Amino acid sequence: MRVPFLSLQPQQELIREELEKGFKKVLDGSQYILGKEVEAFEQAYAEYSGTRHCIAVANGMDALTISLSVLGIGSGDEVIVPALTCAPTWMAVARTGATIVAGDVDEKTFNVTVDTVAPLASRKTKAIVLVNLYGRPADLERIVDFASSKNFFVVEDNAQGHGAAISGKKTGSVGHINATSFYPTKNLGALGDGGAITTNDDELGQKARSFRNYGSTARFQHEVIGINSRLDELQAAFLRLKLRHLDIWNEERRTLAHKIQRELIGVGDLFFPEDASSVYSVYHLLVATTQKRDSLRSFLQQQEIETDIHYPLPPHLQKAFARMGYASGSFPVTEKICHQILSLPLWPGMGEEHTNYLVDQVKRFFKK
């Protein structure tokens, strides 16, 4: 049986007619940039996130770059980032001209902690970017407290965390300003590129709104040198329709992930990162580590089960960041995770035949 890593088809089929109606509405409306659909989506996503403001932008990396920019971050400033994340988190910091200061992650949670972050704080630290990686909330509250005591900002990279929560608060609402992506494979995905900034701070919200549109909020009046990073009407229409289903799809991801985990905990040396009881994870990815990652992966491939690796090479070992001079071994926990981690297939609409087959084949591999 073929098990794809991800299928967007069940979601699409469920709401195909709504999407087609959304398309027709935008087509007939003849306003394709910063119109009613973007405004309505911004309102809906702000409400969903529990924030005062949502500013829709072109993609996740822009959302991060703009968030850092409106905090006044640039050359001469330091920004702390986790070593374990995808390249755009680091690239956004680099784009502002600020210095990247990376921290290794914790072996159990796969995220930075106050302990790994504290030694990195300096007088130059302006912000920390916390990534809700794999849909699992970072240690947001403790790090916000720590950041406040040191007087720097917290920015959440919530590209993988739509709908996740910690102590009843949605991720993307805890940091001072927060960025997310609506890349098609994310939990809330557009049918193309998209992103958003969420914040409770009126001034930061206003600045971000201006920055994404050439530094302008009134026609032909430019307050700052901004960029063009606008979500288009069509994507806004699709996202607003899909947002109505997000909670159900997240619940489905959780049910499937919990079921697979229950079956596989204790099998071989498989380890699944654990969640604190205060945390609501949305399983953007279902990840496990094992020393036999590569052979497990090729065994599953032979059984037609697709898996993936997030991420095979951490940012500090990428050619793009070679100038920073990090050697192999700089972040041992991150590097170990990258050698051992495997993302298992998971998507809303995944059938029992798929999960059962996946579980059986993983068990078979470890029995050999």
Q: Which of residues 233-292 bind ligand PLP (CB under 6 A)?
A: none
Q: Tokens standing for 322?
A: 């070679």
Distance of alpha carbon 166 from alpha carbon 282, whole angstroms: 11
In 3-state terms, what secondary structure has residue 279? strand
CB count, 10 Å around CB of 327? Answer: 7
In 3-state terms, what secondary structure has residue 192? coil
How many residues of this chain interact with ligand PLP, rule: CB under 6 A? 15
Q: Tokens standing for 53?
A: 């403001």
Q: Which of residues 96-155 bind ligand PLP (CB under 6 A)?
A: 131
| Minimal distance, residue 109 CB to ligand PLP, in Å | 16
| Minimal distance, residue 97 CB to ligand PLP, in Å | 19
| Minimal distance, residue 348 CB to ligand PLP, in Å | 18
Name which position in 42, 77, 157, 233 contacts ligand PLP (CB under 6 A): 157
Name which position in 22, 60, 172, 205 contacts ligand PLP (CB under 6 A): 60
362 interacts with ligand PLP by CB under 6 A: no
Name which position in 49, 54, 57, 59 contacts ligand PLP (CB under 6 A): 59
Q: Tell me the HSE value of 219 on the side-chain side, using a 13 A CA sphere.
A: 1
86 interacts with ligand PLP by CB under 6 A: yes
Is the CB of 189 or the CB of 205 nearer to ligand PLP?
189
Name which position in 65, 67, 89, 198 contacts ligand PLP (CB under 6 A): 89
**Alpha-helical regions (H) of the chain:** 9-29, 36-49, 60-70, 87-96, 114-117, 140-150, 202-211, 233-264, 293-302, 332-340, 352-367
Distance of alpha carbon 207 from alpha carbon 229, whole angstroms: 13
The residues of the shown chain that bind ligand PLP, judged by CB under 6 A, are 59-61, 85-86, 88-89, 131, 157, 159-160, 181, 183, 193, 195
